[in-house]
Structure 1
Amino acid sequence: MVILVHVKKTWPQHLGGQLTAEESVLGDWAPIARAALEEYGDVLGAVHENVIVAVYDIDPDATTFVDKNTVRFAGVPSTRWAHLIGQPNPGRAWGRRGYARNVQYLDTAVVAGGDVTAHPTPEGRRAVVGGFTLTVTDDGNAVVLVPADRTLTVKPVPGPVGEPSAESPS
């Protein structure tokens, strides 16, 4: 399970050299109850400007409670989840008219990524996930069939942190 923290104040301090990445991300976070830490405390993802900027494997034995609901994490940079760095926030968007709390919880299935099994068809490779059907043709184009009661949102893959994405002006 994954805990996401919003490092809107501390990550700029890290970028400016005032804090290490560990100080920025592992810091003191509230409100996190012991039960939530036990259930979700495998991976800690730091989100700045709705992009993952750091990911840590949490060491539950070294993680401490500063007070009843404030946690000081212990962990090491994650190699298993490092591919998330630079990716969009997989949780609820933070910011104006977005999520207000500084902590979110996710099932790792949301961020596990990877490819689902695709089956060859005359049109191309085809995969079905949750009723959505994706077919990728031999020329690399895609066709998506969307269930009648669902919606589809298409977003460009962002560039590395600090570089403009297709959504941002250069």
Structure 2
Amino acid sequence: MIVVHVNKTWPLVQEGRMTQDDAVLGFWPIADEKLKFCDVLAAVFENKVVATYDITGHSRGADKKVTFAGSPSTTWAHLIDQPTPAAPWGRQGDAWPVKYVETAVVAGGDVPVEKTDSGSRAVLDDVVMILGEDQHITVVVPAGRSITIQTAKAA
């Protein structure tokens, strides 16, 4: 899975001045060896997935940037409005607009707990759990799912 940061183009989509396809599919700085990840494309704005595409092909322009061919994904649509499946953008040095995640890891949920600037994050299947430094827990579940929360008895 290729995860792209659409922080500059997504506001244009929201304003109706650019299509989603143009904002998400085009002009990414991707090295040839990273094209092994090009089965799914997830677009992230403000560290939430805003679009997912099944990639059907790609081309490299004279500027060496990659443009993808693809269509909105029904398989990966459950990621929309969820936190990024890659490490979140926003830390110092996070200017590069492309990240890579093994699609099987996102599909299977076998993701180790990762430290973030604000706490810890883990993904289990299509459920995201975030534990903030303030010990606040956020659980994001896909539409149609239910959740039961049990608290342990105080010691």
TM-score, length basis structure 1: 0.63
Separation (CA, whole Å) in 2 of partners of 1:81 and 1:55: 6
Separation (CA, whole Å) in 1 of partners of 2:16 and 2:70: 21
Separation (CA, whole Å) in 2 of partners of 1:86 and 1:16: 18
TM-superposed deviation, 1:69: 3.3
Q: Which residue of 1 aligns with 2:56?
A: 59
Separation (CA, whole Å) in 1 of partners of 2:4 and 2:19: 16
Partner deviation per Cα, 1:74-133 (whole Å, 9 max, x = no partner): 10001111111111011111125362210001001332157xxxxxxxxxxxxxx7899x
Q: Which residue of 2 aligns with 1:29?
A: 28
Q: Which residue of 2 aligns with 1:41?
A: 38
RMSD: 2.7
Q: Which has the larger radius of gyration?
A: 1
TM-superposed deviation, 1:55: 0.3
- Equivalent in 89, 92, 103 of residue 98 of structure 2: 103
Greater share of residues in strand: 2
Separation (CA, whole Å) in 2 of partners of 1:94 and 1:85: 17
Cα distance change, pair 81–21 in 1 and its aligned pair in 2 (3 A) = same
Q: Which residue of 2 aligns with 1:72?
A: 67
Structure 2: segments with no counterpart, 5+ residues: 114-128, 132-136, 143-155
Separation (CA, whole Å) in 2 of partners of 1:109 and 1:159: 19
Cα distance change, pair 15–158 in 1 and its aligned pair in 2 (3 A) = farther
Separation (CA, whole Å) in 1 of partners of 2:139 and 2:15: 26
Partner deviation per Cα, 1:12-46 (whole Å, 9 max, x = no partner): 1000000111011002111x122211x10100000
CA contact (8 A) 2:53 2:73 kept: yes
Separation (CA, whole Å) in 2 of partners of 1:96 and 1:46: 18
Aligned length: 122
TM-score, length basis structure 2: 0.69
Q: Which residue of 2 aligns with 1:156?
A: 138
Separation (CA, whole Å) in 2 of partners of 1:98 and 1:156: 26
Separation (CA, whole Å) in 1 of partners of 2:105 and 2:112: 17
